[in-house]
Each structure stands twice: as C-alpha cells, then as structure tokens.
Amino acid sequence: MPTAPLPQAPKRVGWLAGLRERLLLQEDLNFLLTNRVPRIALTRFMGWFSQIRHPWVCRASIAVWRLFTDLDLSDAKHAEFASLHDCFTRELKPGARRIDPDPQVFCSPSDGIVGAFGTVQAGSVLQAKGMPYRVADLFGSAERAQRFEGGSYLTLRLTSSMYHRFHAPCAGRVRHVSYISGDTWNVNPIALKRVRELFCRNERACIDFDGPQGQRFALVPVAAILVASIRLHFLNVRLHLRWPGPNEMPCDHAVAKGEELGWFEHGSTIIVFAPPGATLAPGVQHGQTVRMGQALMRLPESRP
C-alpha cells in the first residue's frame, strides 16, 4: 500500500516565519531612522529649513517630498508656494471640503487616518492594542480629564502629505488651552506599538471647548518629529518647543462649525474627546481615511 505524502505545513510555517522576520526588520529600520536620531535638533532644523523663501529650494523640496509620499495639491487654494512651510500649511480651495450640517453630528476636525477609538474607562484610553495611557497625563490635569470619564475618544493621524489645518468639529466656545512641551517621537503605527504613553511624552496642546448645548469636548493636537509647532488663530501665538509660556491659557472664543482653528507645521495627530453618549458615525472604522467636515461622531440628543 503506498505511503501517504508528508504534510507540507513545515514549509508554509518556514515561509511565514521568514516573512515575519523581514517585516520586523523593516519595522526596526523604520523605528531606528525616525526615532533613534536627535529628534528635537532635527525638528528645529526642519523648522528653519522650511521657512527658506527661495523658489528653487521650495520646488526641489516639494519634488523630493513627492518621491516618498502621495502628495496631492489639486485641492490647494494656490498652485505656487514661496517656501516649503507654505506648502505644509496650505489652504484649500473654497468648497474643497463639505461640513456636515447636522447639529447633532460632531464632524472630523481634520483630514486623517482613524486610529484607536473607544470609551474612556477608569481614566485610560488606548494609543494602540495593549498600549494604554492615562487621560490625566495627556491633559496634564486630572480635573479636566475626569470630565470625559465614560465619554468617547478617537485618534486621527495626519500623514505628511495631508492637509494640515484643523477646524472646529461643532459650534461652541473655546474655554481653555493647555500647552505642554515635550519630546518629538514619531507618531506612526510602528512607534505607537513600541513607545509607551507616547502621546503623553510629545509636545501637545489640549483645547477644551463647550458644544452648542453645553457639552464638554476636547481636541488634543500632538506634535511629532519634524513638526513641533502648533498655531492657534484665537491665541495669535505659535506654540513651539521654545515657547516660554504661559502654559495655561483661559479663553472665551466663539467658533462656528467648520471654522479653522489652526494648523500643524507638518503631519501629526489629533485626539478627539466627546462627552458620554456620543457614538461613532456609521461607517467610521479603524484605518479609514476621513476628511475634514465628514461625520465622525453623533452627539447625544439634548434633554429638555
């Protein structure tokens, strides 16, 4: 009687193991090149370089940028830029983004890729699977963090080629801004899986505001390597690593839904916090690319 052929599983396992090793090697190389470098020094250099106003420098820089990203300037308000900084912080053509008009919809404050999201539980949220951090550490205030216990959060990652300005996700009033200086770790998925409490280590601004029915919301723009500069129009200052303070800035500024709040100097992350009862808008899921003005969450109905 013929002998049954040996199973081929070991070859399959070996192939998968080799693929896994190659992927890990690529992750190690990515993490090394974007984190095991003088991050703050490189970030300050990029801040200086991007401000050089020379047509040849600008065009060459954008050409190199296109080699590594899917940079699309077709919806930009201007076709020519005086500096790399002007391209990073470009405005959009009128009508390039649609703002969801439903007053119960909390729209996306920026273009971005949906990352971790869920419910604030015991004062903690996730930056990636198995990587929690405390909201109080992110805000720099246990009192302000407590307001979002049981509420919803969602992380938006902006890549370098995306539109970098961010807007009011609903009508309301900005009440307070906390600026927290820090490091400039990369915020890509590889770093989020390896650096614990990364968002709590990086430079960031915590923006508290009231919604149209008095609900409390927060946006936390987090800087990263080559970024580390946040502009908020209603403060008329540029927050950066050399900002001397003040770090706690009370505000009382009315904003309309979709109104521009400020910009990043490059790509980074915005973490959105909404009150208890807010739910994800239909179709929003991990890894999805959303655009500014698109429905992100649905707010709880107002009570009489």
Catalytic-labelled residue, pool 61, 100, 111, 266: 111
Is 108 annotated in the active site? no
Is 268 annotated in the active site? yes
> How far is Cα 275 from Cα 119, in angstroms, rounded to an integer?
10
Q: Partners of 269 in the beta sheet?
A: 157, 222
Catalytic-labelled residue, pool 85, 167, 240, 266: 167
Just list the catalytic residues. Answer: 111, 167, 268
